[in-house]
Amino acid sequence: MQSDEIARVARDAFGIEELRPQQLDAIEAAIAGRDVLVVWATGAGKSAVYQVAAAMRPGLTAIVSPLIALQEDQLARIDAAPDAPDGVVLNSSRSARDQREGWDAIRSGEASYVLLAPEQLAKDDVVEQLVEVGVSLLVIDEAHCIAAWGHDFRPDYLLLGEVAERLGRPPVMALTATATSPVRTEIIERLAMSDPAILVGDVDRPNIELGVRRHTGENDKRDAVIAQVTELPHPGLLYTATRRATEEYADALADRGLRAVAYHAGLPAKERTRVHEAFHNGDVDVVVATSAFGMGIDKADVRFVVHADVPDSIDAYYQELGRAGRDGEPATATLHYRPEDLSLRRFFAASAPKRGELKRLVSAVTGGTRRRADLAEAADLSPRRVTALLTVLVDAGAIRTGRTGVALRRGMTVERAVDAALERTEERERIDHSRIEMLRNYAETRRCRRATLLGYFGQDYVEPCGNCDTCAARAAGSGDDEDAAADAPFSVDEIVRHQKWGEGTVMAVEPDRITVFFESQGYKVLSTDLVAERGLLTAT
């Protein structure tokens, strides 16, 4: 039986004694040549799926990961396996000699895995070399980065659908820990996945105690954060919104006798690497970081994740708190919250492109297809900015991309393309703001926090959980809300239509409210009574 052979390879090559049924299903689908979308909680074994599937498919597996640290960590795991095929990393941190040796290993067949950043695949010469060698499996890690409505959208990920076509459409395996129903749909569409096997697991992390501490003043909040982090068992992570705050909190915790270090994107690459290594080796008690310290953190014994500031969405929050307690032992996740902090997140969410930039870029494209490499100079923009603006224009349906480059869609003028892009940007801002409001709902809810979180991801949960602050504060086992989903007029993941906002997806059902995601508006919380009284929603 194939499952027996999969179990043998997992055990002998990777030292994995047992695979879960969903892992087997995902591996079998990939081996058979099907596209696969996996949405499992952090620590649920997504890496094992692509590693074993790749080992059982002849040829090269290309793995796209967004961060150098994540790529290096994945390669280290492959290298540490008992008898796994060899792998190489191709990224900007590697020397020219390392890159040449990596390509030699790929061409000779010595390397079966190649790990790349999406920025590498934006380079025509890299894609052309992969086409020459042949790719038998394309793995997209942190796949939520491809979704424009996702919490960690990366423009370079938008090109991966085109890259898959240029590679001859090998089976695509997309992996992520956080993807609501609309985001899953967008991942499939962006990557042009064909009849994918979709495996959505239980995203609950029951060993993590959830809590929110509300504050009225910034100084009070700061003192409470420092006091809590000092008292909690270590090691742990403290997240802040700004680079300056990482330094200030790290200094304050060091004054309390903790081995605390700051981490943010402004640090030199060597210093960031040093912090990563020190944290993994147990030489640091607390890393105080912005969201830059994130994907690729695979330390099993993290005992707490504390947020001194609100993140930009529940998606981001749940991914970050999921770095605690991967060993299954008790862990703590606390959000320190002031309603005023949400205004900072609204400021970060406002990032509309300028009309002049868009007009220069579209004008550069007009008159024929242009290669991306030519557009930066023609439009007097940085290559990074060109990629970001192209993302908006493609998403707005104004520009198409292909093997030969970039071109305006038929019937589009410069002004129409710019207007379409700005309108799409406004929609994006509305959705960003709505996600902030969903975070407010989590912070201020009196319901079970675990039920609120899991409901956002479309997973029903019968409260109380017994491991969050709101459950601890109310009578144990009251069960007031247990039948809420059963009595509601709509169910989670159901497609509905609103009189004004059009089609949407039901994300959560509570006794007195329904949360619906509308693509043009974002998340809307609607009163159950008003929905019934005015007929605001209808099933499609």
Domain 208-347 listed as CATH 3.50.50.60 = no
Mark residue 59 as left, alpha or beta (left: phi above 0; alpha: psi -120 to 50; beta: remaining).
left
Radius of gyration of the chain (CA): 24
Q: Sorting pLDDT into bands at 50, 70 and 90, what band is 155? A: low
Q: Sorting pLDDT into bands at 50, 70 and 90, what band is 479? A: very low
Q: Sorting pLDDT into bands at 50, 70 and 90, what band is 107? A: very high
Residue-wise pLDDT tens digits, 19-78: 989 999 999 999 999 999 999 877 778 889 999 999 999 899 999 988 777 787 788 888
For residue 21, give every residue at least 6 positions away whose Cβ sits within 8 Å of its Cβ, in sequence order, or none: none
Q: Sorting pLDDT into bands at 50, 70 and 90, what band is 149? A: low
Amino acid at position 94, single letter: R
Sorted by where each begins, the domain ranges of the chain are: 2-200, 208-347, 355-426, 483-540
* pLDDT above 70: residue 420: yes
Residue-wise pLDDT tens digits, 341-378: 876 665 555 556 889 999 999 998 886 657 777 888 88
How far, in Å, CA of 259 to CA of 331, rounded? 19
Residue-wise pLDDT tens digits, 263-281: 998 888 788 888 988 998 9
- Tell me, what's the pLDDT at 347? 54
Average pLDDT, the chain: 85
- Tell me, what's the pLDDT at 485? 46
- Tell me, what's the pLDDT at 33? 93
* pLDDT above 50: residue 481: no
How far, in Å, CA of 441 to CA of 433, rounded? 13
Q: Cα 191 vs. chain centroid, distance in angstroms?
A: 15
* pLDDT above 50: residue 169: yes
Domain 355-426 listed as CATH 1.10.530.10 = no
Q: Cα 183 vs. chain centroid, distance in angstroms?
A: 10
- Tell me, what's the pLDDT at 188? 93
Is the model more confident about 502 or about 335? 335
483-540: which CATH topology? Answer: SH3 type barrels. (2.30.30)
Q: For residue 506, give the nearest of 486, 526, 487 by alpha carbon.
A: 526
Tokens linked to 381: 């923009």
- Tell me, what's the pLDDT at 79? 83
Indicate the class that CATH gives domain 2-200.
Answer: alpha beta
Where would I find the beta strands (DSSP E) of 324-384? 331-337
Question: Which stretch of 138-142, 244-248, 342-346, 474-478 has the lowest confidence by average pLDDT?
Answer: 474-478
* pLDDT above 60: residue 486: no
Q: Sorting pLDDT into bands at 50, 70 and 90, what band is 151? A: low
- Tell me, what's the pLDDT at 203? 83
How far, in Å, CA of 40 to CA of 46, rounded? 7
Q: Sorting pLDDT into bands at 50, 70 and 90, what band is 477? A: very low
Where would I find the beta strands (DSSP E) of 283-364? 286-289, 304-307, 331-337
Judge whether 355-426 and 483-540 match in fold: no
Q: For residue 14, give the nearest of 85, 72, 105, 75 by alpha carbon.
A: 85
* pLDDT above 90: residue 230: yes
Mean pLDDT value of segment 163-191? 88
- Tell me, what's the pLDDT at 369? 58
Q: Sorting pLDDT into bands at 50, 70 and 90, what band is 245? A: very high
Residue-wise pLDDT tens digits, 491-519: 777 888 898 888 888 877 777 778 888 87
Q: Sorting pLDDT into bands at 50, 70 and 90, what band is 390? A: confident
Matching residue, tokens 């074993």: 52
Q: How does DSSP classify residue 353? A: P
Where would I find the beta strands (DSSP E) of 403-521? 405-408, 495-498, 502-509, 513-518
* pLDDT above 80: residue 526: yes
- Tell me, what's the pLDDT at 484? 45
- Tell me, what's the pLDDT at 478? 44
Residue-wise pLDDT tens digits, 440-464: 888 988 889 998 888 888 777 888 8
* pLDDT above 70: residue 403: no
How far, in Å, CA of 102 to CA of 240, rounded? 37
Question: Which stretch of 47-61, 110-124, 462-476, 481-495 has the lowest confidence by average pLDDT?
Answer: 481-495
